[in-house]
Homo-oligomer: A and B are copies of this chain.
Amino acid sequence: MMEIGEKLKKAQILQLLKKDRNQFVSGEAICRHIGVSRTAVWKHIRSLREEGYIIDAATHRGYSLTYIPDRLYPDEIADGLNTEFMGGRVYYHQSLESTNREARALASGGVPGGSLVVAEEQAGGRGRMGRGWFSPKGLGLWCSLILRPEVQPNEAPPITMLTAVAVASAVEKVTGVAPGIKWPNDLLVGGKKICGILTEMVAEMEKVDYLVVGVGINVNIPFEDFPEELRETATSLCLEKNELVSRLHLLKQFLREFEFYYQKWINEGFAPVLEEWKKRCINLGCPVRISTSREVWEGLAEDVDSDGALLLRMPGGSVQRFMAGEVSLRNS
């Protein structure tokens, strides 16, 4: 492990090289700007190369950064992020069992709200209801945010719909593709899933201790890489766009959008977020089937109330209210 002072120096050297990308920066200039020795510069350059940065070196000319790897390194995420606290701390891993699990462990240990856990791959990625989540290396955004809103447990469920809005908005701004939201929080493009959200809560009855919001976005997964059983129901942004999408840009935009809607929720309540959610929802007004852990219901998805509950108009005319469940479009 590098010390924090050393990490900062390394980040500063990277900044300097990025500013004059593809041009040579002299070793002497680096030493002067950062206040380190030639030996230290060389050590940090080697460390950056080990992380996948390609840095040319030439005698008397210095160093030139020619390639930034497609990795979600904390320094890259912090670069130009401009959020107040979302992503304020980034815990980066090449591989994790599950980013949610790691985030829960960190949150129990007291890390502040806004902290982000990100992994290049998940060995045991989890979806809702104990299902798995396919999380191949380097091809998606597999990350979890730790949040500490001062709310009661019954006030927490909107966070999941808020997250769906933030992801949809970020995806639209970065790729031009506008995902639809299936109640409560699945994101679909052309009827196929592009993002799943898993929110977990640790609380006393009076007060939430922390929330962990896990997000899995299929970014650059090629068709052939999807397991066969997912090919009918899942897709990725690169498949829809027909080009690779920068995971880094998408993650940073997600953090900005998330912070925007999160502060809206804290300051103005759920209503303005819900309005945005409804604009993007693809279920409302449609006949749907909804499966809860106990039963299956069919009816018309008439509306969503101020708590985010789905209001289902039954064939007999009565209205049934659902806080949770799995929705499928009927006859589809």
User: Which residue numbers of A lie inside 8 Å of B, CB to CB?
Assistant: 128-129, 150, 152-154, 156-157, 159-160, 184, 198-207, 209, 293, 323-325
Contact = CB atoms under 8 A, between A and B. Distances in A.
A153 B153 contact: yes
Given A201-B202, A202-B200, A202-B201, A207 B293 contact: yes
Contact of A324 (B157, B160, B206, B324): B206
A153 B204 contact: no
Given A152-B324, A153-B154, A199 B207 contact: no
B205 A201 contact: yes
Contacts of A206: 128-129, 293, 323-325
Among A129, A201, A293, max chain B CB count under 10 A is at A201
A252 to B, nearest CB: 26
Among A157, A204, A205, max chain B CB count under 10 A is at A205
B153 A201 contact: yes
A203 B200 contact: yes
Contact of A201 (B157, B198, B203, B323): B203
Nearest to A184: B205
Given A153-B201, A199-B204, A201-B204, 7 more contacts: A128-B204, A129-B204, A153-B154, A153-B203, A160-B205, A206-B324, A206-B325
Nearest to A309: B154
B157 A205 contact: yes
A330 to B, nearest CB: 21
A154 B198 contact: no
A159 B198 CA distance: 25
B324 A207 contact: yes
18 contacts: A128-B204, A129-B206, A129-B207, A152-B324, A153-B156, A153-B201, A154-B154, A159-B205, A198-B204, A199-B204, A200-B204, A201-B201, A201-B202, A201-B205, A205-B324, A206-B324, A206-B325, A207-B324
Contacts of A199: 204-205
Contacts of A152: 323-324
Contact of A205 (B156, B204, B209): B156
A178 to B, nearest CB: 24
Contacts of A324: 152, 205-207
A157 B206 CA distance: 9
A201 B129 CA distance: 17
Top 4 nearest A-B pairs (CB, nearest first) are A206-B324, A199-B205, A201-B203, A154-B154
Contacts of A128: 204, 206
Contacts of A154: 153-154, 157, 323
